[in-house]
């Protein structure tokens, strides 16, 4: 059958009209085709996928952890000590705030604002006068995400004895790899009066990040007061930061397999008071037998070493900070002087905070499968004055004796935790546990 001339024909068959519509729609339909042959079949079944992406708020603070020292003569003050560079990267649309608090005596709170502690004298915080004083200030780093400084903290100010907001930003910064974030620089200044006692003084300022900017100020939780139930409630899903009342050091803890574990290395050294410690009696000196670096090992005298820049350099490829490394202790030091001989003896006291203790062999054995929660690090051990295995091993003392010369310890190597036994004379890490 020939296709008719549809444009010139005076009469158009029904089938041909389908041809016209077919051309317009890009579908070829033969003239004269039966309408009953056009069918649309229903689908037998269908399904769909839903994709939800949740981007969580993430705010981190880096930098700080700086140490400054200066010699100052009576009647004079130092020039600016610093800067300590602090960087915040925060994707929270509500921004963030940075709080500061000074360390005083044996806690972070003090009615008299005394912050610099010596063996017999103190220096109060302040900004003027004939008396000795010390002060701090924070300045923003100019940039796209420059933070704002609160009140007078851009000039030298009294070191606060409760958490005080010193800087903030009301919106997010950039985030991800290569983010510049918000920068802050902290400076310090000290004045010595003509009558100030000539000795060494040490002070600390802690900076804490919260988000959003409108979030409440952080609060202090001391290790000695934290119960196992509180640890379970607050540190099961994420680390909890707590403070050691003895020297103000902060540590993260986690509830792991029925116990509350420190997930950072203990770093208290020197003379430790029995108050708030897991030993009784007189004060104890963790380095009565000398520093673990540069000396011969011994069973009978306490030796310890607080990490410094030399130790950080030894494991620089791993990027550990001084605070992450903490300190190394021989067993006489770790046991607060209880186990200081070639005698097989479990430690029933130690230099952990009160209500915490060195873990037993069983507790260390039970945590082997929880390496990701325990957050182990390398850093090696001190033996005969030398740091060894700095990038391949980490060791943590247990309270349980192996034999007369060895004590059990938890070892970390090649990404795995195992229970070993170590020479009691060597310097190993400590991570305390709370089990009641």
CB 290 within 8 A of CB 305: no
Average pLDDT over residues 197-214: 85
Q: Tokens 């409760």 appear where?
A: 162
Pairing state between β 205-210 and 386-388: unpaired
Q: What is the DSSP string of 333-395?
A: HHTTTS--SSS----S--SSBTT-BPPPHHHHHHTGGGHHHH-----BEEETBEEE-TTT-EE
Q: Is the pLDDT of residue 304 over 70?
A: yes
> Domain spans of the chain?
61-217, 240-434
Least confident piece of the model among 51-55, 122-126, 255-259, 398-402: 122-126
pLDDT at residue number 105: 53
CB 260 within 8 A of CB 433: yes
Q: Tokens 């209500």 appear where?
A: 355
Average pLDDT over residues 258-281: 96
Pairing state between β 133-141 and 122-125: parallel
| Confidence class for position 251, pLDDT limits 50, 70, 90 | very high
Q: For 46-99, how does the pLDDT look when each residue is reduced to its tens digit (9 = 90+)?
A: 888 999 887 778 899 988 878 888 888 988 989 899 999 999 999 999 999 999
Average pLDDT over residues 379-394: 97
CB 265 within 8 A of CB 324: yes
Q: Tokens 């993260």 appear where?
A: 252
The Cα 249–Cα 265 span in angstroms is 11
Tell me which fold the domain 61-217 belongs to: Immunoglobulin-like (2.60.40)
- pTM, two decimal places: 0.66
Q: Which residue has the higher pLDDT, 71 or 361?
A: 361
Task: Outline where 138-253 has alpha helix (H).
Answer: 228-234
pLDDT at residue number 118: 41
pLDDT at residue number 42: 62
CB under 8 Å to 131, separation ≥6 — which residues? Answer: 124, 193
Q: Is the pLDDT of residue 27 over 70?
A: no
């Amino acid at each position: 059958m020939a296709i008719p001339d549809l444009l010139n024909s005076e009469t158009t068959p029904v089938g041909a009209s389908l041809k016209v519509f077919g051309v317009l729609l890009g579908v070829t339909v033969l003239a004269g085709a039966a309408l009953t042959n056009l069918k649309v079949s229903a689908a037998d079944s269908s399904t769909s996928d839903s994709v939800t992406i949740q981007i969580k708020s993430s705010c981190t603070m880096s930098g700080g952890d700086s140490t400054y020292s200066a010699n100052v003569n009576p009647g004079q003050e130092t020039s600016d000590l610093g800067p300590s560079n602090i960087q915040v990267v925060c994707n929270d649309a509500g921004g963030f705030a940075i709080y500061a608090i000074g360390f005083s005596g044996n806690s972070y709170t003090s009615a008299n604002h005394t912050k610099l502690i010596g063996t017999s004298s103190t220096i109060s915080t302040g900004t003027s006068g004939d008396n000795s004083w010390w002060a701090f200030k924070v300045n923003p780093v100019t940039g796209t995400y420059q933070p704002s400084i609160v009140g007078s903290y851009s000039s030298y100010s009294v070191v606060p004895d409760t958490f005080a907001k010193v800087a903030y930003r009301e919106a997010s910064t950039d985030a991800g790899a290569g983010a510049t974030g918000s920068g802050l620089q902290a400076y310090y200044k000290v004045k010595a009066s003509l009558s100030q006692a000539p000795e060494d003084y040490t002070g600390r300022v802690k900076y804490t990040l919260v988000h959003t900017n409108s979030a409440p100020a952080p609060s202090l939780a001391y290790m000695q007061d934290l119960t196992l139930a509180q640890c379970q409630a607050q540190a099961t899903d994420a680390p909890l930061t707590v403070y050691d009342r003895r020297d103000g050091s902060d540590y993260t803890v986690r509830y792991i397999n029925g116990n509350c574990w420190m997930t950072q290395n203990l770093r208290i050294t020197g003379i430790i008071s029995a108050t708030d410690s897991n030993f009784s009696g007189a004060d104890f000196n963790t380095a009565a037998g000398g520093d673990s670096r540069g000396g011969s090992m011994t069973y009978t005298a306490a030796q310890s070493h607080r990490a410094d820049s030399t130790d950080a350099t030894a494991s620089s490829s791993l990027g550990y900070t001084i605070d992450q490394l903490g300190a190394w202790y021989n067993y006489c030091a770790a046991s607060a002087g209880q186990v200081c001989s070639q005698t097989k003896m479990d430690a029933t006291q130690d230099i952990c905070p009160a209500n915490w203790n060195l873990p037993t062999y069983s507790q260390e054995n039970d945590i082997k499968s929880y390496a990701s929660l325990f957050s182990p690090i390398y850093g090696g051990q001190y033996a005969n004055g030398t740091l060894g295995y700095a990038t391949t091993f980490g060791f943590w003392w247990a309270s349980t004796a192996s034999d007369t010369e060895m004590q059990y310890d938890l070892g970390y190597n090649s990404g795995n935790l195992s229970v070993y036994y170590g020479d009691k004379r060597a310097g190993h890490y400590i991570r305390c546990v709370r089990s009641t």
